[in-house]
Structure 1
Amino acid sequence: MRTVTFCINISLDGYCDFHIMNPCEELMGYFTEIMNDVDLIFFGRIMYQLMFPYWADVASNQSGTNNENRFADKFTSINKVVISNTLESAEYATQIIRSNPAEELLKLKQQPGKKIMVDTISMLPELISAGLIDEFKLVVHPLIVGTGRRLFDIDSLQEKLTLKLVDTIKFKSGCIALQYLKQ
């Protein structure tokens, strides 16, 4: 069975607003390395629309830094699934699924392949409750922002989830990457 990894940038106070995080070159290299083990990305609509067409444009035009361009090339080449009732179409090797995200992710997890990267905050509690997330990779930025989208809303998780810290990486920028496995 495939491993499902949830990966996200987060502030010290628990916010995940994509617009306030500014990954340095070293972090972009880290994210590119993570993608080497991934052959499917499972998105919610909001995160999908934040990431595309932005990264596809960077890949097409090679308009970023060296590490941004490498990340864009890798990221856009991976197959994607987006859960959405409102998207009419999707590009960039993306399949739209209309309902039952936990059921659909379970089916994908049972297929052969590399890791599946989950990139959605809105469905995370449901996917955790269904026991589908095996690994968490959080990059904590040295920021306190006080506003934006929180990783978890109050009472969004049905039960406590115990994790085991298996790796820590400290970056020159002050960011820290934490890798946890479900116990």
Structure 2
Amino acid sequence: MRKIIAALNMTIDGFCDHTAGIPDENIHQHYTELLGQGDAILYGRTTYQLMEFWQTVLDNPSEEKSMNDFAMAIDKIPKIVFSRTIKNVEWKSATIAKQNLKEVVLELKQLPGKAIFVGSRSLIIQLMKLGLIDEFQLCIHPMVEGKGLPLFENINDRIIFKLVKNKIFTNGAIILYYQPKKNS
């Protein structure tokens, strides 16, 4: 059974935003390698549209090799977009989901293959409420943003996590790998 992995960047004060954080060569390299370990990534409309930025890096490569490598990795991995407003996607490796989130995830979990990543806050919250996330990979950047969207908004039930490992970057960011504890 495939794992559903929520992978997201956030600040010390708990806000998640793909435009916040302190990405550097090591973090880009980490996410490039991570994308190679998955079969797809799930996005909501807002995050998908933000991630379209990486197509411009493919067209006009950066002076940073790590950014170019990440652009190639994000371009390659299949993307499933959940949106009520987007009807077509330009990115060749992206498709619009034809079923609801729960149906798609339950179906993907049953298929053979590698992990499925969830890269949108809204989808992570929905999947948490459904108990369908197997692992959280939270990259916490050493900064206070002061504003934005909190990751764990509108969660009304207590959820206990088990820390299974961590990874520290030279810029002070840390990835915490958590698995939700199953109720016994």
TM-score class, shorter: over 0.9
Q: Deviation of residue 90 (structure 1)?
A: 0.8
Where do residues 41-60 of structure 1 align in structure 2 (5 Å cutoff)?
41-52=41-52, 54-60=53-59
Distance 1:149 1:99, change over 3 A: farther
User: Which residue is equivalent to 2:103?
Assistant: 103
Secondary structure of the 2:148 match is coil
Q: In the TM superposition, what is the alpha-carbon distance from 1:99 to its structure 2 partner? A: 5.2
Call closer, same or farther: CA 1:124–1:30 in 2, change over 3 Å: same
1:15·1:147 contact (CA, 8 Å) conserved in 2?
yes
Inter-partner Cα distance in structure 1 for 2:44 and 2:36: 21
C-alpha RMSD over aligned residues: 1.4
Residues 43 and 83 in structure 1, CA contact (< 8 A), matched pair in contact too: yes
Which of 157, 160, 177 matches 1:159? 157
One-letter identity of the residue aligned with 1:86? T
Q: How far 1:119 sits from its partner (Å)?
A: 1.1
Once the two structures are TM-superposed, the CA of residue 75 in structure 1 deviates from its matched residue by 1.1
Contact residue 4 and residue 135 of structure 2 kept, 8 A: yes
CA gap of 1:64–1:79, structure 2 versus 1, over 3 A, is: farther
Q: Which structure 2 residue ranges, 5 or more long, are not aligned?
A: none
1:88 is the counterpart of 2:93: no
Asked if the contact 2:10–2:20 (Cα under 8 Å) also holds between the matched residues in 1, the reply is no
Higher mean Cα deviation, 131-140 or 160-169?
160-169
Local SS of the residue matching 2:121? coil
Structure 1 position 39 matched with structure 2 position 39: yes
Mapped to 2, the partners of 1:57 and 1:15 lie a distance apart of: 26
Give the number of equivalent residue pairs: 180
Task: Describe the shift of the 1:45–1:64 C-alpha distance in structure 2 as closer, same or farther (beyond 3 A).
Answer: farther
* Aligned counterparts of 2:138 and 2:23: Cα–Cα separation in 1: 13
Of residues 172, 175, 178 in structure 2, which corresponds to 1:177? 175
Counterpart in 2 of 1:75? 74
User: How far is the alpha carbon of 1:64 from its aligned partner?
Assistant: 4.8
Distance in 1 between residues matched to 2:149 and 2:164, nearest whole Å: 27
CA shift in 2, pair 1:99/1:85, >3 Å = farther
Separation in structure 1 between the aligned mates of residue 102 and residue 29 of structure 2, nearest angstrom: 30
More moved, 60-69 vs 42-51: 60-69
* Identity level (%): 37
| TM-score with structure 1 setting the length | 0.92
How many Å separate the matches in 2 of 1:74 and 1:125? 25
Residue-by-residue CA offset, 1:92-148 (whole Å, 9 max, x unaligned) = 211112552122211122122211000111132221121211010011111111101
